[in-house]
């Protein structure tokens, strides 16, 4: 397994451009299944999860061709409606194919995604609301089997679930009649998916609000389109915090800073010196003080940036209180940060961080995507060598990470000890 070796402390400089958002591209890729005409997606990020989703689409009969930075998907003839366990177990986001398959084929067999490191992550909101739209759902041998014609209806989400909003939105695009979904999640990736679907010929209103109204259309009304997803706001916020953690002057570009407004507000409240442009943010060395963070659905502080800001708060003068309110087990980075010298106490869903300690390098283990991002930030600030093992977690959400870090001044190399030992 690959590992990253980082020699710190690092001083970052220059600018780094983030890739298209993983969490926008994954539902958009599933949305390709709705369209009998070609879909051209521009600048898909080179991430493991994106490759996995493309493999799933090909298993369903989608033909994929690549030409420079444009990937073309031909979903004119879907030959299967089954997403197998072998594939789904490697990527939970495979569940996003459920909605579009039900819309297009009135039939789907998708392996139940297992839990993951950060929590049980049930899909009850997806399933109960698909049933309200006319699906008959049975759970057999670890698979969700769904069949039935999608019919527009009035849905109210018990919780503003990102994935449930996206799955139901896609199921409604080709449903008979009108679907209203209340208490939708508001994440920018949902707005991006809705814009993509409307460009394809869907009829979605209320985009960016908690109530989406979708007038079902015939699949023959959908059209060929080209689309590029939004920049990755979580990748961007990771580099923003890396700049502050290393007291560097760094510009992060290629995303919409409005998408991380709440994070920026908190960082400025802590004393960060940040210049916000239309599609970039520039950080200057700043003296930061402790902070209280409560993760919440958008536009609140994103759970996907919780581990990263925890790494930052370890390094600053003053104490911080960070509460995780979305997932039940999203503190896997705490024991690893402690190996680098952090002083963190976990109590229930909250952590008390004693700031002002210097990290020293050590071997650490990546456990999940955003926990690994926190370890990167810590490694950049640590004195000495940090080896981050199981870096495949990072490769799921951070495209071209090694080169991006190197381009802003980091002494980093990727190793594969097993391969090296066999030489």
- Closest chain position to ligand EPZ (CB): 163
Choices 73-81, 114-122, 376-384, 399-407 (CB under 6 A): range interacting with ligand EPZ: 114-122
Choices 123-131, 170-178, 210-218, 245-253 (CB under 6 A): range interacting with ligand EPZ: 123-131
Give 27 or 361: the residue with its C-beta nearer to ligand EPZ.
27
User: Least CB distance from residue 341 to ligand EPZ, whole Å?
Assistant: 25
Query: Given candidates 125, 150, 168, 200, which one binds ligand EPZ under the rule CB under 6 A?
Result: 125
23 binds ligand EPZ (CB under 6 A): yes
Residue 303's CB is within 10 A of a number of other CB atoms, namely 18
β-pairing, 143-147 vs 136-140, is antiparallel
Question: Peptide bond before 348: cis, by omega within 30 degrees of 0?
Answer: no
Query: Given candidates 162, 242, 281, 405, which one binds ligand EPZ under the rule CB under 6 A?
Result: 162
Query: Given candidates 40, 121, 339, 390, which one binds ligand EPZ under the rule CB under 6 A?
Result: 121
- Dihedral of CA atoms 44, 49, 53, 59 in degrees, nearest 10, equals 130
283 binds ligand EPZ (CB under 6 A): no
251 binds ligand EPZ (CB under 6 A): no
115 binds ligand EPZ (CB under 6 A): no
Six token digits for residue 423: 């030489």
> Is the Cβ–Cβ distance between 289 and 310 less than 8 Å?
no
Choices 1-9, 104-112, 117-125, 412-420 (CB under 6 A): range interacting with ligand EPZ: 117-125
- Phi, psi at residue 135, to the nearest 5°? -80, 140
156 binds ligand EPZ (CB under 6 A): no
371 binds ligand EPZ (CB under 6 A): no
| Measured CA angle at 248 (ends 246, 249), to 5 deg | 160
User: Least CB distance from residue 419 to ligand EPZ, whole Å?
Assistant: 28
237 binds ligand EPZ (CB under 6 A): no
Give 304 or 355: the residue with its C-beta nearer to ligand EPZ.
304
Give 25 or 204: the residue with its C-beta nearer to ligand EPZ.
25
161 binds ligand EPZ (CB under 6 A): yes
Choices 4-12, 124-132, 269-277, 279-287 (CB under 6 A): range interacting with ligand EPZ: 124-132
User: Least CB distance from residue 48 to ligand EPZ, whole Å?
Assistant: 12
- Phi, psi at residue 223, to the nearest 5°? -130, 165
196 binds ligand EPZ (CB under 6 A): no
Give 64 or 112: the residue with its C-beta nearer to ligand EPZ.
112
Distances (CA, A) of 207 to 31, 124, 213: 16, 24, 9
User: Least CB distance from residue 101 to ligand EPZ, whole Å?
Assistant: 17
User: Least CB distance from residue 184 to ligand EPZ, whole Å?
Assistant: 11
Six token digits for residue 228: 């590029």
Residues marked active site are found at: 116
Give 123 or 288: the residue with its C-beta nearer to ligand EPZ.
123
- Dihedral of CA atoms 100, 103, 108, 111 in degrees, nearest 10, equals 30
Residue bearing tokens 């023959």: 220
171 binds ligand EPZ (CB under 6 A): no
Residue bearing tokens 């493309």: 54
Note the residues at the interface with ligand EPZ (CB under 6 A).
Answer: 23, 26, 93, 119, 121-126, 159, 161-164, 185, 187, 303-304, 326-327, 369-370, 397
């Amino acid at each position: 397994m690959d590992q990253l070796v980082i020699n710190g402390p690092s001083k970052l400089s220059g600018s780094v451009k983030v890739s298209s958002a993983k969490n926008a591209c994954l539902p958009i890729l599933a949305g390709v299944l709705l369209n009998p005409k070609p879909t051209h997606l521009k600048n898909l990020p080179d991430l493991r999860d994106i490759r996995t989703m493309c493999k799933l689409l090909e298993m369903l009969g989608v033909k994929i061709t690549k030409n420079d930075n444009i990937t073309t998907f031909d979903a004119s003839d879907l030959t299967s409606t089954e997403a197998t366990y072998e594939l789904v177990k490697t990527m939970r986001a495979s569940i996003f194919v459920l909605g579009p398959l039900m819309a297009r084929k009135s039939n789907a067999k998708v392996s139940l995604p297992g839990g993951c490191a950060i929590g049980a992550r049930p899909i009850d909101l997806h399933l109960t609301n698909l049933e309200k739209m006319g699906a008959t759902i049975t759970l057999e041998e670890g698979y969700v089997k769904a069949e039935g014609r999608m019919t527009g209806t009035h849905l109210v989400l018990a919780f503003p679930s990102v994935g449930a909003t996206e799955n139901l939105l896609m199921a409604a695009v080709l449903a008979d009649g009108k679907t209203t979904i209340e208490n939708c999640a508001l994440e920018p990736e949902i707005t991006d998916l809705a814009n993509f679907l409307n460009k394809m010929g869907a009829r979605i209103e209320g985009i960016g609000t908690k109530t989406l109204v979708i007038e079902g259309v015939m699949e023959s009304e959908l059209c060929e389109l080209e689309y590029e997803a939004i920049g990755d706001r979580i990748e961007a916020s990771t580099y923003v915090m890396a700049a502050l953690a290393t007291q560097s002057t760094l510009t992060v570009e290629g995303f919409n800073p409005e998408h991380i407004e709440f994070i920026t507000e908190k960082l400025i409240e802590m004393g960060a010196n940040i210049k916000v442009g239309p599609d970039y943010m520039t950080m200057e060395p700043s003296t930061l003080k402790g902070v209280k963070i409560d993760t919440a659905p958008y536009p609140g502080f994103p759970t996907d940036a919780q581990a990263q800001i925890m790494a930052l708060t370890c390094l600053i003068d003053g104490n911080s209180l960070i509460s995780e309110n979305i997932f039940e087990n999203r503190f896997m980075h705490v024991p690893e940060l402690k190996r680098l010298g952090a002083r963190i106490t976990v109590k229930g869903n909250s952590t008390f961080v004693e700031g002002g300690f210097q990290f020293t390098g050590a071997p650490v283990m990546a456990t999940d995507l955003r926990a690994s991002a926190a370890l990167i930030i810590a490694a950049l600030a640590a004195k000495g060598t940090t080896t981050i093992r199981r870096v495949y977690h990072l490769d799921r959400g951070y495209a071209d990470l090694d080169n991006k870090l190197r381009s802003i001044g980091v002494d980093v190399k990727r190793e594969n000890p097993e391969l090296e030992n066999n030489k």
